[in-house]
């Protein structure tokens, strides 16, 4: 009897960490008939209906959970996701702060809290410490984790008719609360030793555009895409760049960095910082943004947003105006 008692006492704390499954959606007096009858008038809830993509049902716990008062790690029991994986669902609330989000806001996790996302061509800084609340046809409530990236959303969710969702849907799932538009206004600085005006956009998505103008003859001496390229286990030895018109661009090696803190899982994180020579003419031709294929022993395709291009070109125009007026600092 003593052994049984000890066993029960040991199991109770574990049971306390478990949840019984998704709660019923209550909405408001206008949206429900009776909570006990599990009738939430799903079709009358405002918004589009969606489905979990067939190929993602097996991995549903990667992006979703059902108890807002417990951390996601305690909600990996797939049996509690049958409503979500088999029924239509709608977004009923965004900007929700769940217990998972409270954990994500701890100071020691601050460097992981924000991500940079290009959605519909607009650069955003996204706060991942927000969740979105969903309701299924049988009134079960679930939550979309704020850590779910754009690419994953586009592949894990489909429209009710099975077609792919688009980036307007992505914006709907995130809501406005986590999203802040990233300014691409360039910084202009005068180097009194080199006698140059230097123009540089903010660093975004591991890259920036920079350039310089000679203060004496107002000639442009540099326009360059400065970019960090990440590889794992083996270096990319990037030495070539080509645009979508088939034109090659000079690649300058700037620096390298090695991070082996998680090497047991992924191998060492290897960062190659390079500069790709472009021109003001090229940027004027590609105001909506452009893509480059960078390659060596490995390759990567990088996409530069039109907002960054416009930010740099605007900075160059202002720098030229400063040079003409002579008011560019000493």
Cβ partners under 8 Å of residue 222, min gap 6: 210, 211, 212
251 CB neighbour count, 10 Å cutoff: 20
- Distance from C-alpha of 226 to C-alpha of 252, rounded to nearest angstrom: 9
- Distance from C-alpha of 13 to C-alpha of 34, rounded to nearest angstrom: 34
Cβ partners under 8 Å of residue 102, min gap 6: 129
> DSSP letters along 110-163, please?
HHHHEEEEEETTEEEEEESS-EEEEEETT-BEEEE-TT--HHHHHHHEEETTSP
Which residue stretches of 237-326 are H helix?
Answer: 263-266, 280-285, 306-325
Question: Would you state the pLDDT for residue 19?
Answer: 59
Cross-strand bridge partners of residue 136: 89
Q: Report the largest interatomic distance among the alpha carbons of the chain, rounded to a whole angstrom.
A: 94
9 CB neighbour count, 10 Å cutoff: 9
Question: Would you state the pLDDT for residue 6?
Answer: 40
254 CB neighbour count, 10 Å cutoff: 13
Question: Would you state the pLDDT for residue 85?
Answer: 98
Nearest alpha-carbon partner for 45 in 61, 54, 33, 59: 33
Question: Would you state the pLDDT for residue 328?
Answer: 62
- Walking along the chain (330 residues) 10 residues at a time, the average pLDDT comes out as 41 48 74 51 95 97 97 95 98 98 95 94 95 97 97 97 97 98 96 93 96 91 96 94 97 95 79 97 96 97 96 96 76
Cβ partners under 8 Å of residue 315, min gap 6: 185, 186, 187, 188, 199, 200, 201
Residue bearing tokens 């956009």:
201
Question: Would you state the pLDDT for residue 137?
Answer: 96
Question: Would you state the pLDDT for residue 327?
Answer: 74
Question: Would you state the pLDDT for residue 28?
Answer: 54
The beta strand positions in the chain, using DSSP E, are 50-52, 64-65, 89-96, 114-119, 122-127, 131-136, 141-144, 157-159, 179-181, 187-191, 196-200, 207-214, 220-232, 240-243, 248-249, 251-259, 269-277, 289-295, 299-305
Under 8 Å between Cβ of 305 and 203: no
Under 8 Å between Cβ of 117 and 150: yes
Question: Would you state the pLDDT for residue 267?
Answer: 83
Residue bearing tokens 């688009």:
166
pTM confidence score: 0.81
């Amino acid at each position: 009897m003593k052994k049984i008692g000890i066993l029960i006492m040991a199991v109770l704390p574990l049971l306390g960490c478990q949840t019984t499954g998704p709660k019923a959606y209550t909405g408001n007096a206008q949206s429900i008939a009776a909570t006990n009858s599990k009738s939430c008038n799903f079709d009358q809830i405002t918004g589009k209906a969606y489905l979990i993509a067939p190929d993602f049902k097996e991995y549903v716990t990667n992006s979703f959970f059902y108890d807002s008062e417990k951390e996601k790690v305690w909600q990996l029991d797939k049996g509690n996701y049958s409503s979500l994986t088999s029924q239509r669902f709608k977004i009923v609330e965004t900007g929700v702060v769940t217990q998972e989000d409270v954990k994500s806001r701890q100071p020691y996790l601050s460097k992981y809290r924000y991500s940079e996302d290009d959605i519909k061509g607009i650069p955003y800084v996204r706060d991942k410490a927000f969740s979105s609340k969903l309701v299924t046809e049988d009134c079960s409530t679930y939550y979309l984790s704020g850590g779910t990236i754009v690419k994953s959303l586009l592949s894990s969710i489909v429209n009710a008719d099975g077609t792919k969702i688009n980036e307007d849907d992505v914006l709907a799932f995130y809501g406005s609360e986590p999203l802040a538009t990233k300014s691409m206004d360039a910084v202009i600085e005068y180097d009194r030793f080199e006698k140059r005006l230097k123009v540089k956009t903010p660093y975004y998505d591991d890259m920036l555009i920079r350039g310089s103008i000679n203060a004496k003859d107002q000639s442009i001496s540099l326009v360059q895409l400065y970019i960090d390229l990440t590889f794992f286990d083996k270096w990319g030895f990037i030495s070539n760049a080509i645009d979508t018109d088939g034109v090659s661009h000079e690649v300058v090696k700037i620096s390298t960095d090695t991070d082996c803190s998680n090497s047991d899982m992924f191998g060492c994180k290897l960062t190659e910082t390079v500069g790709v020579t472009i021109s003001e003419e090229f940027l004027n031709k590609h105001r909506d943004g452009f893509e480059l294929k960078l390659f060596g022993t490995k390759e990567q395709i990088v996409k530069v947003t039109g907002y960054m291009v416009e930010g740099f070109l605007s900075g160059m125009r202002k720098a030229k105006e400063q040079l003409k007026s002579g008011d560019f600092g000493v």
